[in-house]
Amino acid sequence: MTRSPRHDHAAGQDRVRRRRQSIGEEPMNKIFEVPLYAYERSPDQDAASSVRHKVIVIGAGPIGLATAIDLAQQGVEVVVLDDNDKVSFGSRAICFSQRTLDIADRLGAGQPMVEKGVFWDAGKVYFDDRQVYEFNLQPDTGYANPAFINLQQYYFEKAFVERIRELQADGAPVEIRGRNKVEAIGTHDDHVKLEVETPEGPYNVEADWLIACDGANSPTRRMLGLDFEGRVFEDNFLIADVVMEADFPSERWFWFDPPFNRGQSALLHKQPDNVWRIDLQLGWDIDKEQEKRPENVIPRLKAMLGEDVKFDLEWVSIYTFQCRRMERFRYGRVLFAGDSAHQVSPFGARGANSGLQDADNLCWKLKLVIDGKAPELLLDSYSRERVEAADENIRMSTRSTEFITPKSDMSRLLRDAVLDLSEHYEFARPLVNSGRLSTPCAYSGSSLSSADALNGPDITRPGSACPDAPLGDEFLLPKLAGKFTLLTIDADAPDSIEEGGVEATRLALSVKDDPTLELKRRYLGDAASAAYLIRPDQHVAARRDTFEENAFRQAIRRATGKE
């Protein structure tokens, strides 16, 4: 999609590009400069009549690329159209959660992300002119992936593009068309028609299904006359990527109401390549042109980092956001995923992370519908489940926003009391809210879930995303990827069951497979045995203490929108 709107989110303007000041015009990072999916003429442009594809994805950002990989891995023909041809400029989304990494693993792209990404476990919290406390995160054990990594969005996108190249080399039906800008969309009962502009002129193309991953300013949404509902909160951030010497501590620093940014917040975050990300909250009613001038930016950065710290600005941008979502994410043959469907405040890393979960939720359903193994109605469950997730993300990030920028005098008084107490007493620290890291939504009321029939742990109740668990040298989640799985733990069951063309294959485990007992803690609790039906997106559809054929056949029908 257009770099500037996605890049600036709602504002779609006010971007500045700045090179490293100390080394003249030399590009900091070639990754911004080289087209990753350069324009090439497609046979579609010379066809006598519009070519029909199975799925067209608009936008080659993180969500569009993930969607294309997921579909291509399942053999669904997919074309990605993007009006640009490069990865995103500047770091943008930088914090990727464990669930995102688990999904990326399923998509065959997780490993390079984790290898490149950085992890921090120490942080400092400042209030006014002083440090109120510092913390060390306790590492979670028994998961293949870390709780999160920090990684510039361009590396995230690059890993996905490389994965698409790999799939193409294996003959998978996936294509990215750079500098293909969708100018008009016609919707029909069983397909969509697109008018696409290219450097060599326009062409028409059709698709059975259209997935709009074209960002907060989604031209698709606009062209279809659809809008967001619920404007909860609006704010501006000055975000900067700063290159510093490697010995600067690898910690997260958060400032509430600091002297250099009165009444607002500031955040310092480590990224790979000795790049630090700085987010300075500016408030809603500001002069953006004024704020992003170097003579205004640099003194603030010096106040944050210390007068003696040498740094170079790699990238500066003004980021604007609002908290809102579309009423629903499916309109006939058009599906919306990622920022095009919902936007949240940046606190808690719920933008790209929730978008990845959209793709994760959507693709297996679309595959079943395309194959005629599930009714189209199954796609409405995509909308319902991900609307529930969007509401949860908006609620969580709104709470963080309220703490960081209190709306009323009393809210500020309470916030300041928490911060003052946090300096002295441990109990107040969990109340300090500078963003709660995104965790996957457990679809609580989903029509795809069967009633819970196991006296088991809450974290694996129907609707939940399966937590990982160690299995000797291996882990659980890779064994649950991309298909319906009948997971049994010390329970008998057939090797597979098929219901209405949908097969669930058994994964037979025992608590003995995990001497650390995390498998038991996460999947059995006090129960002696369990049988789980797990969806292709690794969410629990049903669970009981033992396998019972009729119940699991019914659970498969429910999970595929047939009950």
Site residues, other proteins (CB under 8 A): 396, 399, 402-403, 406, 408-411, 414, 418, 420-421, 423-427, 429-431, 433, 436
CB 444 within 8 A of CB 451: no
395 or 479, CB closer to other proteins? 395
Minimum CB separation of residue 194 from other proteins in Å reads 43
Minimum CB separation of residue 350 from other proteins in Å reads 14
Minimum CB separation of residue 394 from other proteins in Å reads 13
Handedness of CA 161, 340, 352, 484 (dihedral sign): negative
147 or 431, CB closer to other proteins? 431
Q: For residue 116, what is the enclosing H or E element?
A: helix 110-116
284 or 425, CB closer to other proteins? 425
436 or 553, CB closer to other proteins? 436
29 or 433, CB closer to other proteins? 433
Residue positions counted in the chain: 563
The rounded distance, in Å, linking the Cα atoms of 461 and 29 is: 45
Minimum CB separation of residue 459 from other proteins in Å reads 16
Minimum CB separation of residue 424 from other proteins in Å reads 5
308 or 409, CB closer to other proteins? 409
Q: Beta strand pairing status for 275-281 and 234-244?
A: antiparallel
Minimum CB separation of residue 119 from other proteins in Å reads 24
For residue 488, the tally of other CB atoms under 10 A from its CB is 20
CA distances from 439 to 96, 212, 442 (A): 11, 24, 9
> In this structure, what DSSP letter does residue 13 have?
-
54 or 436, CB closer to other proteins? 436
Instruction: Tell me the two tokens of residue 299.
Output: 């003194």
Minimum CB separation of residue 347 from other proteins in Å reads 12
b/e code 203-213 from CB counts within 10 Å (16+ = b): bbbbbbbbbbb
For residue 321, the tally of other CB atoms under 10 A from its CB is 24
Minimum CB separation of residue 75 from other proteins in Å reads 43
423 or 545, CB closer to other proteins? 423
129 or 200, CB closer to other proteins? 129
Q: Helix (H, G, I), strand (E, B), or coil: what is residue 276?
A: strand
Minimum CB separation of residue 124 from other proteins in Å reads 19
369 or 442, CB closer to other proteins? 442
The rounded distance, in Å, linking the Cα atoms of 527 and 541 is: 18
The rounded distance, in Å, linking the Cα atoms of 184 and 188 is: 13
Minimum CB separation of residue 403 from other proteins in Å reads 7
88 or 265, CB closer to other proteins? 265
The rounded distance, in Å, linking the Cα atoms of 355 and 526 is: 35
* Tokens 């003696």 -> residue: 308
Instruction: Tell me the two tokens of residue 536.
Output: 């292709």
92: nearest Cα among 140, 153, 41: 153
CB 133 within 8 A of CB 429: yes
Minimum CB separation of residue 406 from other proteins in Å reads 8
Q: For residue 331, what is the enclosing H or E element?
A: strand 330-331
Phi, psi of 208 (to 5 degrees): -65, -35
Phi, psi of 203 (to 5 degrees): -150, 165
Minimum CB separation of residue 417 from other proteins in Å reads 9
Q: Helix (H, G, I), strand (E, B), or coil: what is residue 261?
A: helix
**Which residue type sits at 461?**
R
Minimum CB separation of residue 467 from other proteins in Å reads 20
The rounded distance, in Å, linking the Cα atoms of 84 and 228 is: 25
Displacement of CA 178 from its chain's centroid (Å): 22
For residue 145, the tally of other CB atoms under 10 A from its CB is 22
162 or 420, CB closer to other proteins? 420
Phi, psi of 458 (to 5 degrees): -65, -35
Q: Where are the beta strands (DSSP E) in 416-501?
A: 470-471, 474-475, 484-489, 496-499
* Tokens 């733990």 -> residue: 489
- Report angle CA 116, 121, 127 to the nearest 5 degrees: 120
Minimum CB separation of residue 97 from other proteins in Å reads 17
8 or 392, CB closer to other proteins? 392
399 or 483, CB closer to other proteins? 399
